[in-house]
Structure 1
Amino acid sequence: MDLREELPSDRQAVRDVHLQAFGDHGRVVADLVDTLRDTITPENGLSLVAERDGQVVGHVMFTRSLLDAPRQLVEVQVLSPLAVLPEFHKRGVGSALVRHGLGILTERTVPLVFVEGDPGYYSRFGFSPGGGLGFRKPSLRIPDGAFQAIRLPEYEPWMTGTLVYAEPFWRHDAVGLREAAT
């Protein structure tokens, strides 16, 4: 398996990965990816693919958001979304993408990465509940356990406060859980 930065020629394959991985929610996630992609620059953010035998089988994005800390705004990254084709689940594809991305962000001197996801999965990479680390979630719709953060070497103890998601997350209504329509 090869891990590399997403290329323009990967766009449809990446979209297909999200459509298949997220089922009914796939279109929202795929549209979010298409919008977030435009916010990534060489210095800020990351879009990685996992490729096996010439096929894109997984994708992860890290995008710029802000931590509203008492001292000043802090540029942080949000890991979202992460997707792997269903037939490649439980083969280490997602884990490899997350670890590779965190390594690159550490080299880029990013202080914090946030994620909204399964604590049983993300804790293996060093993510911990954000509330216990001095962070406030950007929406009450995010379950406490799902709001997680990892402090990288550039983190400083004064960096506490509220995560402010980048605008595309709000535009696509991709923050927290919505109640099912009755």
Structure 2
Amino acid sequence: MTPREPDHAARHAVRAEGGADRAAVAALHTAAFGDDGHVAALVEALRPAPLSFVATDGGRVVGHVVLSPARLDAPRRLVDVLTLSPLAVLPSHQGRGLGTRLIAHALAAADAAGAPLVFLEGPPDYYGARGFDRADEHGFRSPSLRIPPAAFQVARLGGHEPWMTGTFVYPDVFWALDCVGLRDPEA
């Protein structure tokens, strides 16, 4: 550990998102994703999210993660699962372990709630070091051809059973806001 890490750990707290955090969470996602509010609109459309957490620095919201209900179309039956999306940390606070803490907190909450699986789209090097595996290697099918196979990832939790394989199905809001997969800018 570097001398800075204990100081950061003491200053930063992870807690459930509250109603008073909404504006700060929207601004955070817009800054972190460098977009025109598209991701913030997704977060707003996902409300009320059952599992939504913020990281704070001296009371200021500097990170956010949301877990939303989704489905797995398994051969035996539909399975209620979660999707971790989006995750954001203010650019000025990146590289301090806040994303890692938010992910760990979210996965622990999902496991405690009995969710068997958490899916996401994201960089495999980052999420692979934080409890996620390439989903297709465990019998899961992506909901879109626009998701690179390595980016489609899953965390298998305590409630997972071997028969739980199949196609991941995003909630409708992800489709309505075109937040699934990558768009080809040349198309």
Determine if the TM-score, normalized by the shorter chain, exceeds 0.5.
Answer: yes
TM-score of the superposition, structure 1-length normalised? 0.94
TM-score of the superposition, structure 2-length normalised? 0.92
Q: Which runs of 5+ in 2 are unaligned?
A: 1-11
Tell me the distance in 2 between the aligned counterparts of 1:37 and 1:142: 24
Tell me the distance in 2 between the aligned counterparts of 1:37 and 1:120: 29
Q: In the alignment, is residue 175 of structure 1 matched against residue 186 of structure 2?
A: no
| SS in structure 1 at match of 2:27 | helix
Q: In the alignment, is residue 13 of structure 1 matched against residue 18 of structure 2?
A: no
| SS in structure 2 at match of 1:30 | helix
> Which residue in the other structure is 2:40 paired with?
30
Tell me how many residue pairs correspond in the alignment.
176
CA deviations over 1:30-71 (Å, ceiling 9, x no partner): 100000013x2xxxx311000111110000000000000000
Tell me the distance in 2 between the aligned counterparts of 1:173 and 1:5: 27
Q: In the alignment, is residue 51 of structure 1 matched against residue 66 of structure 2?
A: no
Structure 1: 4+ residue segments shifted above 3 A: none
Q: CA RMSD in A?
A: 1.0
Q: Which of 140, 143, 151 is 1:138 aligned to?
A: 143
Q: Say whether the 8 Å CA contact 1:37–1:47 is kept in structure 2.
A: no
Q: Say whether the 8 Å CA contact 1:78–1:113 is kept in structure 2.
A: yes
Offset at 1:181?
4.4
Q: Which of 90, 93, 96 is 1:91 aligned to?
A: 96
Tell me the distance in 2 between the aligned counterparts of 1:28 and 1:131: 28
Q: Which of 126, 130, 143 is 1:121 aligned to?
A: 126
> Which residue in the other structure is 1:102 paired with?
107
Identity %: 51
CA deviations over 1:99-138 (Å, ceiling 9, x no partner): 0111111111110000100000001122111100000000
Tell me the distance in 1 between the aligned counterparts of 2:79 and 2:38: 28
Q: Which of 79, 84, 102 is 1:79 aligned to?
A: 84
Q: Which of 3, 10, 13 is 1:2 aligned to?
A: 13
Q: Say whether the 8 Å CA contact 1:47–1:60 is kept in structure 2.
A: yes
> Which residue in the other structure is 1:66 paired with?
71
| SS in structure 2 at match of 1:115 | strand
Tell me the distance in 2 between the aligned counterparts of 1:55 and 1:150: 29
Tell me the distance in 2 between the aligned counterparts of 1:108 and 1:19: 29
CA deviations over 1:70-103 (Å, ceiling 9, x no partner): 0000000000000000000000111100001111
Letter of the aligned partner of 2:98 in structure 1? Answer: V
Tell me the distance in 2 between the aligned counterparts of 1:105 and 1:174: 22
Tell me the distance in 1 between the aligned counterparts of 2:181 and 2:19: 29
Tell me the distance in 1 between the aligned counterparts of 2:18 and 2:112: 21
Tell me the distance in 1 between the aligned counterparts of 2:37 and 2:24: 14
